[in-house]
Chains A and B, each alone.
Chain A
Amino acid sequence: MRYQTLALRGFGWLLLAIVLLMALFPPYFMTITAFHPPNLSFSRTPTLFSTDLTLKAFTDLFEKYPYAQWMANTVMVSVASTILSVTVATLAAYSLSRLRYPGRSMLSSSVFFVYLFPATLLFIPIFIVLNNLHMLNWLPSLIAVYLTFSVPFSVWLLKAYFLSIPRELEDASLVDGATRWQSLVLIVLPLATPGIAVACIYSFTLAWNEYLYAFTLLSDQENFTLATGLTKLIFGDVFLWGMIMAGGVLMSAPLLVLYFTAQRYIVSGLAAGAVKG
């Protein structure tokens, strides 16, 4: 028994070590490629470590491509779709978790259903409609389209969060003569701040990462998001790995900062989603 336990422990730790190395290597390799002189990316021996660091790939990226514009577009689309979806979703989630009315449970499960509805099915009709309305290749359309996944996702996440707030607090405020609206704004919302923060982080991330819609709906280079702009670089004739990795570092940085400062919230959000439903 003792040997078995020790062997399993050893195996577990070994596997953890391997997984940690594998988790760290790609981001490390991206960073080192981004900072080493561009000619090294064509060498047969990859540069795994180097002290010869330069910002050449970054300056090239900004000079040769409208990277700053792509970043501005991505920030604009992500922020706008986050604000819109979380606002709308907060109201809907409060309604679905707190108020009683006919059809509530049906509506509640259909939200989840809609979130899992595939973009691969929706992008073609959306493409046709936007084409007919002459609204293709226009960032506000992309913001609206992003609501197709961020609204249902945020409703689902926030609903679970609202359910975890004790109902008694709200009932007490109603007994004291507050209106439903007052109790929502003054009692429930402040308590739900962590949940709302998680919903914002997720909506933002989903929009920041989105590829299929941006890829099909935007055609002019000036309108690209980071996702479409960066991938455009690999489908060219020359692979500009230094620049692509530099772009990757810049695209990852905001999310990494967000995730590691808000890690506690994110883990609890995921746990709420999976554990509490």
Chain B
Amino acid sequence: MAIRVGEALRARAPAIRIRRSLARDEAFFGYVLLLPAAILIVVLVGVPFLNALWLSFHRKLLGAQDAPWIGLQNYLTLLSDATFWQAVRNTFVFTVGSIGAKVVIGLIIALVLNEAIPLRGLWRSITMLPYAMPTLVSVLVWKWMYNDVAGVFNYLVGHQVLWLGDPNIAMPAVIAVNVWRGFPFFVITFLAGLQTVPQELYDAAKVDGAGVWARFRHVSFPGILPIVAVTTLFSAILTFNDFSIIWILTQGGPGNATNVLATLTYKIAIPGLELGKGVAVSVLMLPILVLLILLLTRFVSRREELA
């Protein structure tokens, strides 16, 4: 008996050794395949990021060779600057306003398109249109429609409204453009989510006499809630950093009515020549951004574990 066990162990030893060497090969191969991407990311993102942190503690001017250490001065000037706080407020209004509208529109349209309506494929393709157009082209078309002399909106309204020139209207006008180009993403992901809700649940709800609203409230909505969360967070992060829509429409104006942190960074750094202070603006955005990204990563990885 004892001999048999010993023999069996000896027979298995090469197998274990092979498995161990396979695992080592696997790890080696894994690192090798990862290497090009890792090098690119370290050089192109990691190094500039550390450089940005370094810059934010220095008085670095565009064109100047030396950059004296000034400690927290860039941050302190910003924190006592009303323009900075207005940009913070504007960034939140822009992000929350855009995302709120996109979630509501996205949900309703996804629910309608999830029903067996005629020509559903065609309607879905048309909904995709704003998403398929280059962002920049959409922004230019909207700028043309908002034009105060020959714009189509003033023609429809019947009198002259300074859509992008009136401090009270500019922010909603800018949000409208963001919502227009971003809502299809919400429709598509929500639709994909709705399609994973089992039909039996709807049937059961119907048998129990649930109407459209009750079925949404108790079946569809809980079913797609995780996707709503992921889509919202994802879009919030991108909206929070958006530069091009606001820059092209208003350049942050009129006054500072639509100046967000992204446009403020640019204005301070390039036309204002204060590179270090500009970087400090975006470093101050980081805590919120990191929080949003961590939340999103947690949601996404939890879904991965379930899958």
Spell out A's residues near B (CB within 8 Å): 1-2, 4-5, 8-9, 12-13, 15-16, 19-20, 22-24, 26-27, 29-30, 33, 41-46, 48, 88-89, 91-92, 94-96, 99-102, 104, 107, 109, 111-114, 116-122, 124-129, 144-145, 147-148, 151-152, 155, 163, 180-181, 205, 208-209, 211-212, 216, 226-227, 230-231, 234, 239, 241, 244-245, 248, 251-252, 255-256, 259-260, 263, 267, 270-271, 273-277
Contacts and interface: CB of A to CB of B under 8 A. Distances in A.
Contact of A270 (B133, B188, B283): B188
Interface residues of B, number: 105
18 contacts: A8-B212, A12-B111, A12-B112, A19-B183, A23-B130, A23-B184, A42-B149, A48-B152, A101-B30, A111-B37, A112-B293, A125-B55, A128-B51, A144-B44, A151-B41, A252-B134, A260-B132, A263-B128
A125 B126 CA distance: 41
B169 interface: no
Contacts of B29: 95, 99, 180-181
Nearest to B108: A15
Given A120-B285, A212-B244, A276 B136 contact: no
B300 interface: yes
Contacts of A271: 188-189, 192
Given A128-B275, A252-B137, A270 B155 contact: no
B136 A230 contact: yes
Interface stretch (B5-13, B68-76, B77-85, B260-268): B260-268
B189 A275 contact: yes
A109 B301 contact: yes
B26 A275 contact: no
A87 B141 CA distance: 35
A121 B112 contact: no
Q: Which 7 A-B pairs have the closest CB atoms?
A: A99-B30, A271-B192, A101-B27, A92-B37, A259-B132, A95-B33, A125-B51
Contact of B241 (A46, A118, A125, A248): A118
Nearest to A43: B150
A88 B227 CA distance: 29
B282 interface: yes
Interface in B217-260: 227, 230-231, 234, 237-238, 240-241, 243-244, 247-248
A166 B212 CA distance: 38
A119 B265 CA distance: 11
A248 B137 contact: yes
B45 interface: yes
B135 to A, nearest CB: 5
B143 interface: yes
Contacts of B185: 270
B244 to A, nearest CB: 4
Given A121-B49, A121-B52, 10 more contacts: A15-B105, A16-B109, A101-B30, A113-B297, A116-B289, A120-B261, A121-B285, A226-B134, A255-B132, A259-B132
Q: Is the interface of B mostly helix, strand, loop or mixed?
A: helix
Interface of B: 23, 25-27, 29-31, 33-34, 36-38, 40-41, 44-45, 47-49, 51-52, 55, 60, 105, 108-109, 111-113, 115, 117, 123, 125-138, 140-145, 147, 149-152, 155, 180, 183-185, 188-189, 192-193, 196, 209, 211-213, 227, 230-231, 234, 237-238, 240-241, 243-244, 247-248, 261-262, 265-266, 269-270, 275, 278-279, 282-283, 285-286, 289, 293, 296-297, 300-301, 303-304, 307
B44 A148 contact: yes
B144 A33 contact: yes
Nearest to A100: B26
B142 to A, nearest CB: 7
A107 B31 CA distance: 11
Nearest to A145: B44
Contact of A91 (B36, B133, B213): B36
A274 B187 CA distance: 12
B282 A117 contact: no
B26 A180 contact: yes
A65 to B, nearest CB: 15
Nearest to A276: B307
Contacts of B30: 95, 99-101, 104
Contacts of A263: 125, 128
A95 B185 CA distance: 29
Contacts of A273: 189
A111 B131 CA distance: 25
B52 A124 contact: yes
A16 B112 contact: yes
A27 B301 CA distance: 38
A225 to B, nearest CB: 10
Contacts of A122: 45, 48-49, 52
Contacts of A144: 44
